[in-house]
Chains A and B, each alone.
Chain A
């Protein structure tokens, strides 16, 4: 059972079940816990090879036991996501922990990933359970519905879930080349039905300078 001890510390109450968490993110525990490193995100040989090839490397550990375990990473703000059979797309660097029963994998994101400097692939989490994602500053959760499509700066994008189509928008015009760009040269547009997590901070992207 995931709960937030504070906005920056995740507490997980366990009764013999397992959670997958970012390697080294345990800050304290109470009770009996066993920590096991999962090579390649616990996705077997195939997952390991995929991650190596796609650059979505993620070192996860499996924590199993009875008691409470607390997780935190570099004072990042944590948001909890509940999954009911749907799929969460998250950057591997923004994933803190998931329920042991959730499946993790990689998926192709296309040119969006390239524009935010995170590579062309992203991590997916699927199943029933909870996940904890991290952001630089508290994440803002924005709903996308057919009448309200959303446009996001690639540097502020953290995660999304639901039935969303992404398209890539470029605002590069001849003015950008003249050094008079609008500062928002690359944008991702989300359409459909779902939720998008954005952080109040931008990673350094190539788009940030144009």
Chain B
């Protein structure tokens, strides 16, 4: 970082001997040391490197075995590359805060757009929750967030836009402020936004043992495709019919109250 107030002083110059190994250079840049090892990373997040490092798409034949053991999100593979070689590599993402986390025989679910890179000792899977990815195992991963990350203990209710991820299986579910939303007036308020909707009637609720990760802003990171789930009945987000009793996916006409009708018994 710059030394403020000192005339003429720029940022301190780094070279491979002063760059940290698998740690942050500053809040926005992370340095990965490769010693013949491999890291999975999102496409195009490398900003500079010393040494000789090769970037290969997941589809690369030589990486088949590695992908089989630590990458279980096949339809999402085109967004990821494997960095391989020896040297030090700097990762950054649109000047967002980046942080590394250590998992020890644990699990963590994270919004797909926030995950930047991870060690192959972890395995990456699609979460049942659409738009989220789950990392399982032991190792280090790097995630970006809009503003520094805050850790919370359940029970906690969080704003959907501030949620980055959660670890160790607290149960994520939706929570609505029904006291505010019920009744005809509440329905109208929710539908039209007139009469003072606070914009906070809907939250995610977490209970159980674990940790919830929040970013300190409500600006979402751009979503990364997590790949489509197999189109089987019973798989959330697969687009397959869920079986008998489910509402049909008929397009809602303007002016129609839609599922609010059901909710308020109209």
A residues in contact (CB < 8 Å) with B: 1-7, 78-82, 130, 136-143, 145, 148-153, 155-156, 171, 175, 178-184, 195-196, 198-202, 208
Contact = CB atoms under 8 A, between A and B. Distances in A.
B92 A201 contact: yes
Interface of B: 1-2, 4-16, 25-29, 42-50, 53-60, 78, 81, 90, 92-95, 98
A156 B8 contact: no
B47 A2 contact: no
6 contacts: A79-B11, A140-B11, A140-B29, A150-B49, A180-B58, A201-B94
Given A140-B25, A198-B48, 20 more contacts: A4-B4, A4-B5, A5-B4, A79-B2, A79-B10, A130-B7, A130-B8, A138-B2, A138-B11, A138-B28, A148-B15, A153-B46, A153-B48, A155-B47, A180-B59, A182-B57, A183-B43, A200-B29, A201-B28, A201-B94
A148 to B, nearest CB: 5
A42 B49 CA distance: 37
Contacts, number: 145
Contacts of B94: 136-137, 201-202
A138 B44 contact: no
Given A4-B2, A130-B8, A148-B50, A137 B57 contact: no
B47 A150 contact: no
A150 B95 contact: no
Top 10 A-B residue pairs of the complex, sorted by shortest distance between their CB atoms: A137-B95, A183-B43, A182-B55, A200-B92, A180-B57, A156-B47, A200-B28, A180-B59, A201-B95, A143-B15
Contacts of A156: 47-48, 92
Contacts of A175: 56-57, 59-60
A22 B34 CA distance: 41
Contacts of A171: 55
A183 B81 contact: yes
B122 to A, nearest CB: 20
Contacts of B6: 3
Nearest to B5: A3
Given A175-B60, A182-B56, A182-B57, A141 B48 contact: no
A175 B56 CA distance: 9
Given A2-B8, A182-B57, A152 B28 contact: no
A136 B95 contact: yes
B154 to A, nearest CB: 32
A178 to B, nearest CB: 7
- Which of A7, A79, A136, A182 has the most CB atoms of chain B within a 10 A radius of its CB? A182
A80 B57 contact: no
Contact of B44 (A80, A145, A183): A183
Contacts of B26: 138, 140, 200
Nearest to A139: B11
A2 B55 CA distance: 41
Nearest to A137: B95
Contacts of B4: 3-7
B60 A199 contact: no
Contacts of A143: 13-15
A79 to B, nearest CB: 5
